[in-house]
Amino acid sequence: MRDEFEWIKSISPAGYRQSSVIQGIGDDAALVRGSAWDQIVCLDTMVEGIHFTNQTMAPYHVGYKALAANISDIAAMGGVPLYYLVSIAIPSTWKEEGLSQVYKGMADLAEAYEMDLIGGDTVSTKGPLVLSVTVMGQVEPGRKLLRSNAKPGDVVFLSGTVGESAGGLSLLLERSVKGEFTAEEAQLVKAHQLPEPHVGPGRILAASGKRVALNDISDGVASEANEIAEASGVVLTLFHGKLSRSSVLRMYPEDQQDQWIFYGGEDYKLIGTMSPDDFSQAASACEKTGYTLTVIGEVSSGEPGVRLKRGSQVEPLLKAGYNHFHN
């Protein structure tokens, strides 16, 4: 199988039969025109042994994170998550107690966002556990926070800090869920097992009514930034010294931090672009609700791609995050 993203392009339809489709394949979620609100639909799948093992996550975390990944996609469209459906393929190695914890992880997160479980499917399998979650949400009509909205002159921004999830995974792979962790290390582990989707900043950006390009960070900053650059036909230049890093992450060597930030993923924060003036207003609104938006770069014209500026040196930042057919 070739590259995951190239494969997706090869199966994408040339057009849509339904005139209500605003955005289909190619963004964080599908966007469909509704009467009072536009509808958002997304789906993510987690496979045991690929996305998680019992050495890195308890069953509760598996359910929580499967739903969190989808809520994050809704956030990247500026939307409100409303409903979810669950399809699960269960091997004989899983017992009812563990499966109940998977659903409890989803239910607890759903309660926090006032979401409802409205259906799904349950089957058996001879292979590993496979968990697919579909989430439906909504956003005000006409709000299209698409990857293709970036324009030269925009600032590139980030919500919150990134790299913690990959740091937590590194610790879990080294010591497992039963390992002992310092208070600081436990913060990284929690970031991996119980990530917080940034619905709040997404809603503020949607409410601004301004042009915003937005992407959630599931595959690492490098991959997500490149998706915006490719979709918009622009150059994103990221400033190494302005990348948002938590105090816990700064305890590690800088090259390790960079690896986790650029290529780790599963932070479920937001990366986007908008005009400098519009950004200032959005950042102030986010700050009032306890979220931080930080400028980490700028957008210019040129051959689509991402550059990393470190001091006076500028180097390409390639799309090398998680790829299902390469990892």
Print burial letters for 181-205: b (CB count within 10 Å at least 16), e (below 16): eeeebebbbbbbbbbbbbbbbbbbb
- Per-residue pLDDT band for 20 (boundaries 50, 70, 90) equals confident
Residue 107's identity, in one-letter code, is A
Q: Where are the beta strands (DSSP E) in the chain?
A: 21-23, 30-32, 38-47, 80-90, 116-124, 130-139, 155-159, 213-216, 235-239, 270-274, 293-300, 305-310, 313-316
Is 70 exceeded by the pLDDT of residue 130? Answer: yes
Is 50 exceeded by the pLDDT of residue 325? Answer: no
CATH 3.30.1330.10 domain extents, the chain: 17-139
| 192 annotated binding-site participant | no
- Per-residue pLDDT band for 5 (boundaries 50, 70, 90) equals low
| 216 annotated binding-site participant | yes
The DSSP letter of residue 266 is -
Residue 287's identity, in one-letter code, is E
Q: What is the per-residue pLDDT for 14? A: 72
Biggest alpha carbon–alpha carbon distance for the chain: 57
| 28 annotated binding-site participant | yes
Which residues, at least 6 apart from 239, have a Cβ–Cβ distance to it below 8 Å?
296, 297, 309
Asked if 217 and 262 touch (Cβ cutoff 8 Å), the reply is no
Read off the pLDDT of each residue in 111-129 and give the average, rounded to a whole number: 97
Q: What is the per-residue pLDDT for 324? A: 44
C-alpha span between 172 and 67 (Å, rounded): 21
| 51 annotated binding-site participant | yes
| 310 annotated binding-site participant | no
SS3 content of the chain, % helix, strand, coil (to 5): 35, 25, 35
Read off the pLDDT of each residue in 249-275 and give the average, rounded to a whole number: 97
Is 70 exceeded by the pLDDT of residue 322? Answer: no
CA 13 to mean position of chain CA atoms: 24
Closest CA to 270 of 248, 250, 293: 293
Q: What is the per-residue pLDDT for 21? A: 84
Query: Which of 3.40.190.10, 3.90.650.10, 3.40.50.300, 3.40.50.2000 would CATH assign to domain 147-316?
Result: 3.90.650.10
- Per-residue pLDDT band for 9 (boundaries 50, 70, 90) equals confident
| 154 annotated binding-site participant | no
Strand ranges of the sheet holding 270-274, from the earlier edge strand across to the other edge: 213-216, 270-274, 155-159, 293-300, 235-239, 305-310, 313-316
| 277 annotated binding-site participant | no
Read off the pLDDT of each residue in 302-310 and give the average, rounded to a whole number: 98
| 322 annotated binding-site participant | yes
C-alpha span between 19 and 286 (Å, rounded): 34
* Sign of torsion over alpha carbons 60, 185, 179, 255: positive
Closest CA to 99 of 46, 51, 53, 62: 62
CATH 3.90.650.10 domain extents, the chain: 147-316
% of the chain at pLDDT higher than 70 = 96
Mean pLDDT of the chain: 93
| 252 annotated binding-site participant | no
The DSSP letter of residue 279 is H
| 218 annotated binding-site participant | yes
CATH number at 17-139: 3.30.1330.10
DSSP result, 154-209: PEEEEES--SHHHHHHHHHHHH-TTS---HHHHHHHHHHHS----HHHHHHHHHT-
Is 90 exceeded by the pLDDT of residue 22? Answer: no
| 287 annotated binding-site participant | no
Q: What is the per-residue pLDDT for 124? A: 97
Packing angle of the helix pair 199-207, 59-76 (nearest 10 deg): 10
